[in-house]
Every structure is written in structure tokens, then in C-alpha cells.
Amino acid sequence: MQFRRGANVGLSPDGSPTSYHVLIRNQLGMFKQVSFKEIESVTTQHSSAQTPPASPGKGPGKESGLNWRVIVGSLSGSTVEWFDFLVYGTVAALVFNQTFFVTDSEFLSTMFSMASFALTFFFRPIGGIIFAHIGDRIGRKKTLFITLMLMGGGTVAIGLIPDYNTIGVAAPIFLIICRIMQGIGIGGEWGGALLLSYEYAPKHRRGLYGAIPQMGISLGMLLASGFVGLLSTMPEDAFMSWGWRIPFVGSVILVAIGMFVRHKLEETPDFQKVQQSGKVARLPIKVVFKDHWRAVLVSIGAKAAETGPFYIFGTYVIAYATGILDARRDLVLTAVAVAALIATVWTPLFGSLSDRVPRHILYRTVTILTIAYAFPYYMILNTGSTFALFATTAVGFGLLWGSVNAILGTMIAESFSPEIRYSGATLGYQVGAAVFGGTAPLIATALMEWSGGEWWPISVYMIACAALGLVASFFVKHVAHIEAEHVAHH
């Protein structure tokens, strides 16, 4: 079966449980709040156990319930964030190039639309620095409320902006402002969601727990594509005029759910320990630049191997398949949604595997496979068959990207000591996302134009991103060892 062009709709362009507290009444009738960490240190000298004993009257079921609350809290947050963020990419090249960035050149309109997508990525490190500072100084939990409000507010506002024909040049300006709000919000969101899960996890399950918020990326993308897929049944004129606004405005429901779940969570045990020990850094980012720059560079390289292929396999494929291969947009949307579903299921499984096999070895293996797949991906996709579209997207986005994504968060988190973990992990991740992620659709579009429609420069770009991750994998264990020594000496 060959591709046919259809409706102008599609996805496009990016161990301890939480503070169970027992209340112990003292002789004066006052209550003292004691964490399991404190109880364990008193009752078990020199113990290295990761799971604290249950409190009187509390069985394993309660502990399991609390861990599930942490998992749902971190997953719901990242899912909401990526739904909000990726719904923009869903309609950027399909709607905004015609309603906000209106020019006499279709190419320029598309480039401006892609540029607005890329621009916000450069604000992610700024948001990351701001909220990581708060997270390392005050706490992980508090930052997550602010980031979710910024991200959700920016998304809802996009759905309310009048188009170019109504307010002229003010339309793209307001759009850019909202995108910057989203970029700043998501810049701080990732680190908080990751550490919320990672710092609650027992050491022998940190790979699995660290993969949970990462799973929210593909889950959010799946929800976004499904939402727009439903809108594809609308007449094209209705979708272009007001239908595309529905997921933006409707996201307020997801934001409210995320806020409610996070309200039930408490601060992470790792950060509580930092507070109790008096090791809270006055200026965490300064400490990161001074003492932890190696770990930041490794994190940037590791992120490159995840984020570049993500936008090529998961978002730019829409523009390529519909524009170059004349594919039906609803068909391509379905292929990406299926691949996102595969990634959502595969991510926690591969994360759990990394608790049994060294993470840096798995990461190195997947980056090599990505390099080997870069050219066959386009060669098979270009055959133009429906099977080729689904198969290449499932392998590239669902399995290869899903594998890298599963390990990335935990690998970055364990490269930094707790007192600067939010700042260090966020800086490395967000700089990598800004340089290699948000620019990927823009670079791919430019490479296609400059090469006269050739696909191979895009494959070379993917290889370059994966190669950086491959190099980083050889240094991950080294920087993690340095961080372990740092903790031991402090």
C-alpha cells in the first residue's frame, strides 16, 4: 500500500520511600516528627540497608502505596509537561506557518515556525538554572508547583491568542512569549520530576524508578497525538480556524490533576538528609561549574544521543513523510503514535534491565545501534510503503530512542552528589536539549533545502549526535566515581 495525501492534520515539529513519618509523643505531650532514616540510624548502627523498617501498625502495603504515589506523581508531572510542550509541535508546521508566521514564501513560513519551536529550547537552561537553584536550596517538591503552573499557563494562553489576520505582528510576538514561558517551566520541571522518583528509590531499583518520569515523554506525546488524531475528523477549515486550539485550552485539566497529585507528596529523603547535615549549598550552580564541570560535559554528550534522534524519529518524520514522500498525515500520525506506545511500554522495562546490567554498557550499545541505523532508516522509509513507515518509526523511535531515554535520567542523576544534583543534572540535560534537541527539526529542514532534497545529511547529523553519547558513555563511570568520593569526603 502506498502513501496518499489526506487531511492537513498530524504530529510535527520535541532506598527509601518518601518521608513516611511516625509521630512520637514525648512526656510534655508535644509531637516530634522522626523520619525512618533517623530511626534506622539509631536502631541499626553502621547499617547500609536501603529500606527502612515499617512503623508500628503499618505493613508492607502502606510502603508499596507510598512508592506508587511517588511513581504516579513523577510520571503525571512529566506526562503533563510533555503533552503541553509537544502539542505545540503537533501543529507548528501544519497551522502556525499559516496562521501566525504569514509570508510570501512557504519555505520561510515553515522556517519561522520551526525557529519558534527551537527558540524556546534556549530558555530551558535558564529555567533549569533558576528552578534547580530553588530545588537545591529549598527543596525538590516546591519547585514542581511553580514549573507546572508556568508550563500550563503558557500552553493555555497559546490556545487563546488571536491569529495574524486579527492582530497582525502582535500574534507571533505573543506566541513567542508563551513559548518562552513553556521553555522556562519545562527547564525546571525535568530535574524535579526525575529526582522526585530517583531519590525515593532503593539503590537496586534506581534504574526502574529513574525511567518512570522519562516514560512521561512518550506517554505525553501519545496523548497529544491521540488528541489531535481525534481532531483530524474535523473539516480542515474548522481545524485551521479554531479546532487546533482545543488541546491547548483543554490541557488545564491535566495541569490540575498534576498539581493535586504532587500536593500529596513530601520532600525526598536525599534532600532531607542534605538539610539535616547542613550541606545545603549557598550557590549550587557555582559549585557545579567549579567542581562538577566534567559531569556536566558528560551529561550534555549523553543527552545529545537521546534528543537529536528523538526529534528526527519522532517529530521531523512527519514533515519529511508528508512533504517529501507525499504521505497521508493521519497515517503518519498513527505510525508515530504506535511507536510512542512501544516506547512507553519499553522504557520502564529497559530501565529495570539497567539495574542488572551496567547502565553505561547498555547506553554504549544502544548508541552504536543508533549509528548503524541512521542510513538504513531513510533507505527503508524512502520505499514509500506503509509497512516501511511503521517499521522504521517503531524501531527508531519506539525501541532505539526508548532504550536511550530509559537510561538517560538515572545515568545523569547518579553523576552528581545530592547537594548539587538538581543544578548539575538540570544544567547538563537542558544545555544538551537546547543545542542538539530543539534545533534538530530546524537543522533537518535546512539540510534538506541546502542539499537539494537529499536525506543523507540528516543521517549524518543523527550519527554525530549518537557519537557524542557514545564518547560520553566511556566517562560516565569515571565521573560517578568522582561524585562518590566527593560525598565520602564531605
SS3 385: strand
Q: At residue 385, what is the residue type?
A: S
Element (H, E) at 164: helix 164-167
- How far, in Å, CA of 186 to CA of 434, rounded? 12
SS3 169: coil
Q: What is the DSSP letter of 94?
A: I
- How far, in Å, CA of 276 to CA of 418, rounded? 13
Q: Which domains can be identified in the chain, with CATH numbers?
A: 67-267 (1.20.1250.20), 282-489 (1.20.1250.20)
**Counting beta carbons within 10 angstroms of the beta carbon of residue 30, is it exposed (0 to 12), middle (13 to 18) or buried (19 or more)?**
exposed
SS3 33: strand
For residue 484, what pLDDT is reported? Answer: 53
Give the CA-trace dihedral at 114, 116, 122, 125, to 10 degrees. Answer: -110
- How far, in Å, CA of 88 to CA of 165, rounded? 20
- How far, in Å, CA of 291 to CA of 289, rounded? 6
Q: What is the DSSP letter of 264?
A: T
Looking at the chain, the whole-number percentage of residues with pLDDT higher than 90 is: 34
For residue 467, what pLDDT is reported? Answer: 96
Which cell is 415 given? 553523576
- Sites in the chain below the pLDDT cut of 50: 1-66
Residue 485 and residue 417 in contact, taking contact as beta carbons nearer than 8 Å: no
Which cell is 244 given? 487546533
Which cell is 275 given? 538539610
- How far, in Å, CA of 211 to CA of 409, rounded? 7
Q: Dump the DSSP string for 150-208.
A: HHHHHHHHHTT---HHHHTTHHHHHHHHHHHHHHHHHHHHHHHHHHHHHTTS-GGGHHH
Query: Residue for cell digits 483530524?
Result: 232
What tens digit of pLDDT does each residue of 123-170 get?
877 888 899 999 999 888 888 888 888 888 888 899 999 998 899 889
- How far, in Å, CA of 427 to CA of 276, rounded? 25
Torsions phi, psi for 39 (to 5 deg): -60, -45
Collect all residues with Cβ–Cβ distance below 8 Å to 311 and sequence separation of at least 6: 13, 14, 437, 438, 440, 441, 444
For residue 93, what pLDDT is reported? Answer: 67
Chain-centroid distance of CA 227 in Å reads 19
Compute the radius of gyration of the chain from its Cα atoms. Answer: 23
**Counting beta carbons within 10 angstroms of the beta carbon of residue 277, is it exposed (0 to 12), middle (13 to 18) or buried (19 or more)?**
exposed
- How far, in Å, CA of 469 to CA of 368, rounded? 9
Nearest to 113 by CA among 131, 127, 93: 93
- How far, in Å, CA of 470 to CA of 367, rounded? 6
- How far, in Å, CA of 78 to CA of 76, rounded? 6
- How far, in Å, CA of 212 to CA of 206, rounded? 10
What tens digit of pLDDT does each residue of 300-334 get?
999 999 999 998 998 889 889 998 898 988 899 88
Element (H, E) at 248: helix 245-263
Q: At residue 11, what is the residue type?
A: L
Element (H, E) at 329: helix 329-353
Give the CA-trace dihedral at 176, 177, 182, 188, to 10 degrees. Answer: 120
Residue 380 and residue 313 in contact, taking contact as beta carbons nearer than 8 Å: no
- How far, in Å, CA of 120 to CA of 186, rounded? 10
